[in-house]
């Protein structure tokens, strides 16, 4: 079976007060196709940065990242955008929804990244996903009328619309109570499982992480975590 993700010798650093600070230092990370992986770590441990690298939104300072057999670090920004639109679903903490559009319309924005899906089919699927995520009474509400938790569910439905091969989820319970968060995460896992989607979730919530078949921590994989990041977390 093809590995969905292969990271080798990843380094990522940023400029801080005229000095370079290393945020990520990961020798190896491999995720098999269809795996459901939870990565745990506190705020500031590099979790979101790792997801941004895996999505191709940013490139590592050094090392290689291979997704679905293709080398992201060899692609141009345009090529990475096109690859992401075809293959990757993302749910980040900044939902990037359009406030004046309805829940259904916001999900359908993802249809623009997959012209092979007819609008009628996309709309039917958008409605089905929103209902599965508990928003059957909020389909025609504009985003500005939704709670943060409801907005998060809209973002999840949008990420799932095109049956992504890889789904990246950042802190899925950040706007939800524990009970609701576990319920929503279970739904994401079930939908991903039925579609054969590789699911990678980063979280600080042990209640979420323990529901995954595979769990690793940032402290295990990120050698920078024991250095500058622990200083930041004091």
Distance of alpha carbon 108 from alpha carbon 173, whole angstroms: 23
Contacts with 150 (C-beta within 8 Å, 6 or more apart), sequence order: 103, 135, 138
Chain segment 31-79, per-residue pLDDT in tens: 999 999 999 988 888 899 999 999 999 999 999 999 999 999 999 999 9
Chain segment 165-202, per-residue pLDDT in tens: 999 999 877 767 788 888 888 889 998 999 999 999 99
Task: Encode the chain in three state secondary structure.
Answer: CCEEEEEEEEEEEEEECCEEEEEEEEEEEEEECCCEEEEECCCCCCHHHHHHHHHCCCCCCEEEEEECCEEHHHCCHHHHHHHHHHHEEEECCCCCCCCCCEHHHHHHHHHHHCCCCCHHHHHHHHHHHHHHCCCCCCCCCEHHHCCHHHHHHHHHHHHHCCCCCEEEEECCCCCCCHHHHHHHHHHHHHHHHHHCCEEEEEECCHHHHCCCCEEEEHHHHCHHHHCHHHHHCC
* Model confidence, pTM: 0.89
Task: Give CA angle at 203 (231, 218), nearest 5°.
Answer: 45
Domains of the chain are: 3-232 (3.40.50.300)
């Amino acid at each position: 079976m093809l590995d969905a993700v292969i990271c080798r010798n990843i380094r990522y650093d940023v400029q801080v007060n005229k000095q370079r600070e290393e945020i990520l230092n990961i020798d190896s990370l491999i995720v098999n196709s269809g795996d459901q992986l939870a990565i745990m770590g506190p705020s500031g441990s590099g979790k979101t940065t790792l997801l941004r690298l895996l999505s191709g939104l940013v490139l590592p300072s050094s090392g290689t990242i291979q997704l679905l057999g293709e080398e992201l670090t060899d692609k141009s920004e345009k090529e990475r955008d096109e690859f992401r639109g075809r293959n990757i679903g993302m749910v980040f903490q900044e939902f990037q929804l359009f406030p004046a559009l309805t829940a259904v319309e916001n999900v359908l924005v993802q249809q623009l990244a997959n012209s092979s899906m007819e609008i009628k089919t996309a709309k039917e699927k958008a409605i089905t996903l929103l209902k599965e995520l508990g928003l059957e009474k909020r389909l025609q509400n504009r985003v500005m009328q939704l709670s943060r938790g409801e907005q998060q569910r809209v973002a999840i439905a949008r990420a799932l619309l095109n049956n992504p091969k890889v789904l990246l989820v950042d802190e899925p319970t950040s706007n939800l109570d524990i009970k609701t968060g576990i319920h929503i995460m279970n739904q994401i896992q079930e939908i991903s499982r039925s579609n054969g989607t590789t699911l990678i979730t980063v979280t600080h919530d042990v209640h979420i992480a323990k529901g995954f078949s595979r769990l690793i921590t940032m402290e295990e994989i990120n050698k920078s975590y024991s250095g500058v990041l622990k200083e930041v977390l004091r």
